[in-house]
Amino acid sequence: MVYEKDGKLYRRYDKELLCLEPFGPDGLRVRATQLNGFSDGGLSALLEEAKGEGNGEICIDGDTAVIRNGKLRCEMLCTGKLKFYNQKGELLLEEYDKNRFRRKSAPGEADNALEIGPRTFIPYHGTNYYQLAVRFEAREGERFYGMGQYSQPFLNLKGCVLELSQRNSQITIPFAVSSRGYGFFWNNPAIGTAAFGRNITEWKADSTRQMDYWITAGDSPAEIVEAYGEVTGKVPMMPEYATGFWQSKLRYRSQEEVLQVAREYRRRGLPLSVMVIDFFHWSAQGDFRFDETLWPDPEAMVKELEEMGIRLMVSVWPTVEETSENFLYMEEMGYLIRTEMGPRLGIKNKDTYMDASNPEAREFVWQKLKENYYDKGIRLFWLDECEPEVTRYEYANYRTYAGSHKEAGNIYPREFARMVYEGRKKEGEEEILSLVRCAWAGSQRYGALVWTGDVASEFDSLRNQVTAGMNIGLSGLPWWTTDIGGFHGGDIRTDKFKELFIRWFEFGTFCPVFRLHGFRKPLVIAQEGKVFAPGDAKSWNYTSGSPNEVWSFGEEVYEICRRYMELRERMRPYLMEQMKKAHEKGTPVMRPLFYDYPEDARAWEQEGEYLLGPDILAAPVTEENKRERKVYLPAGEWSDLHTGEMLEGGQTITVRAELGRIPVYIKQRELYEVLSKPLYACKGTH
């Protein structure tokens, strides 16, 4: 039976209930279940206020129906198969239905012996949970973009199979932008897979109660991404200081060490906006406070940094160890992740995690952060380990307030960011930002600035950053950064790493956030001139890396870094304009060329260059010993940042790219004049 109720289109056939409703200006939310009704719990990332109440048009003709919302129209055939069209009548997407055992034949739909339906619910016997697969017809030549952040060099995801789970250096945001003119959001935080094959497009959830997805039609990628922002949320306005240079390393081990670095930046006259204190500055994981032995006066530290114009950020992990002063209380109150089998401790090394999906747990931990950091003047939090990074990723063994990890695990990083956002919001703040290692759909509305995790210090990793930054911007998260130089394996003594570092620093200058971090070799066990007895200040003795400041790699590297830091300072007004667009419309700051040039077929083919806002085109060098590269310039006139040469767009050029010189082209001549004046050729490079 097909019927309309409360502005929604329903179809009941045997055990399946199907529902389509207007959602957003040009979108539809599509749900199906084999239970008695739909579950409207806290697992959806869609904003209730984005519902299209009264916006849709529904026409029912017996067992078939049509629902329209703005530019999107869906035909529901008598078999229950769905076909989506845009306002021009062009078919965008249709379900994959190869089943000969039909109750009725649909016009134009032939019977098929494969017996494969578009939606497959396989029950877990004795429960209300299912393994779900949803299938769509694949189209040759279709391209897919977005889907969060994966450690791979592919911008176009056609042909890729993606794991829908959170890992260190992997962020699952199951929203795909299609070159056919639609966006598709898998509104389900279950562990699963997405396959963009040549023969089929398939979405799977390992454990769920219902199918739930959202689809929109748009005349351009910008329309599609902005529509997604309307239904899942947009970032707050980025604070101005965050567009400057961030200094970080693994790890500063004392208050005095942090201040010494900041003072040296000031002595050299280098611009510095944010200093970051990494992990194990605490006494025990789960105490959520400084080790007082090495951090005796945080208020004084904050005050001196702020007098130098520097904001302080501290790392906060959700891990809790048994020796923490909060462990027993959090265990008693149900504030910790649980295991189905085996001990709770040992989920991460010898530790466990707070349950970020539990609102009471979030409030408890925020109060600790407020007392031990916020009230001492620290406003910025680095929310690390928030996948969560469990040791063996045995998803079936974890359970939270939100449900089993297989059903709800992907929302964890969003809820961890939500904790700090809501806490700071209660304090009257508006421009709220947290650095996070992982995210899910909707994390952006909680001020999530994501980065690519603990990636290797290798050229292959650098190449992956370029596509990762573009795809995550298309996934609704415009705030993005990397560990300049990579995290693991960089030896500050070697020429090989120095070349990589320079190339990464060039690239980092033209990222939404400009942040230096890494675990450098050789490792340092104790600070020179300091001796501590065994057991004293255990955080002091935790391994640190070599220095990671811009002067740590020799004069040639330093001179290059200094110039790019000065260039970044001149870019900041332009970047703030882009941050305003991200806040108001969800526009990605870093994006592929086709975002601004959708009618240019060659723009869709470029995977190694990108736009930073509409007027800066960057083409980073991501290969070792490379001193030139090809660059495609889309339509318009472009100025070479380094030479001032004016070039006509619509052509591919081969350009010089000496070490210390990233190919960058400026479309707006006035912006070129601002950025280029003090920039001069690199000395002593080749």
Q: How far is CA 241 from CA 450, 510, 538, in A?
A: 17, 16, 33
**Which residues have C-beta within 8 Å of that of residue 125, sequence separation ≥ 6?**
none
What is the band of 429 on the pLDDT scale with cuts at 50, 70, 90?
very high
User: Averaged over 568-582, what is the pLDDT?
Assistant: 98
**Which residues have C-beta within 8 Å of that of residue 367, sequence separation ≥ 6?**
none
Q: What is the pLDDT of residue 283?
A: 87
Secondary structure (3-state) at 441: coil
Does pLDDT of 268 surpass 60?
yes
Alpha helical stretches, state H, 269-326: 298-307
Does pLDDT of 308 surpass 80?
yes
- The two three-digit tokens of residue 354, written as one number: 């707070």
Neighbours of 455 (CB within 10 A): 24
Active-site entry in 454, 596, 615, 640: 454
Distance CA 617, CA 651 (A): 14
For the question of residue 454 being annotated catalytic, the response is yes
Distance CA 104, CA 571 (A): 62
Go through the domains of the chain in sequence order and give each one's CATH number. 2-232 (2.60.40.1760), 240-451+522-553 (3.20.20.80), 590-676 (2.60.40.1180)
Least confident stretch, 44-58, 487-501, 599-613: 44-58
Q: How far is CA 305 from CA 239, 263, 312, 376, 547, in A?
A: 17, 9, 7, 13, 20
Distance CA 327, CA 354 (A): 10
For the question of residue 63 being annotated catalytic, the response is no
For the question of residue 387 being annotated catalytic, the response is yes
Does pLDDT of 249 surpass 90?
yes
Report pLDDT digits (tens) over 443-469. 999 999 999 999 999 999 999 999 999
Does pLDDT of 653 surpass 80?
yes
The rounded mean pLDDT for the chain is 94
Active-site entry in 95, 384, 385, 506: 384
User: Averaged over 70-86, what is the pLDDT?
Assistant: 97
Q: What percent of the chain is predicted at pLDDT more than 90?
A: 88
- Bridge partners (DSSP) listed for residue 148: 172
Neighbours of 535 (CB within 10 A): 7
What is the band of 398 on the pLDDT scale with cuts at 50, 70, 90?
very high
- Bridge partners (DSSP) listed for residue 123: 130
> What's the pTM value of the predicted model, to 2 decimals?
0.95
- The two three-digit tokens of residue 576, written as one number: 């703030």
Secondary structure (3-state) at 445: helix
Q: What angle do CA 507, 510, 512 make, to 5 degrees?
A: 120
Distance CA 535, CA 291 (A): 13
Q: What is the pLDDT of residue 537?
A: 44
Does pLDDT of 485 surpass 50?
yes
- The two three-digit tokens of residue 119, written as one number: 């939606």
User: Averaged over 562-578, what is the pLDDT?
Assistant: 97
Distance CA 332, CA 394 (A): 24
Smallest Cα–Cα separation from 244: which of 464, 636, 569?
569
Active-site entry in 206, 223, 385, 387: 387
Secondary structure (3-state) at 406: helix
Distance CA 345, CA 339 (A): 9
**E strand segments, 558-600:** 590-591
Report pLDDT digits (tens) over 328-341. 999 999 999 999 98
What is the band of 164 on the pLDDT scale with cuts at 50, 70, 90?
very high
Distance CA 424, CA 433 (A): 10
DSSP H/E element including 365? helix 359-372
DSSP 8-class letter at 47: -
Alpha helical stretches, state H, 359-512: 359-372, 405-408, 412-426, 459-473, 495-509
Residue 78 half-sphere exposure toward CB, CA atoms < 13 A: 12
Q: What is the pLDDT of residue 343?
A: 86
Does pLDDT of 237 surpass 70?
yes
**DSSP secondary structure letters along 134-150:** EEEE--TT--EEEEEE-
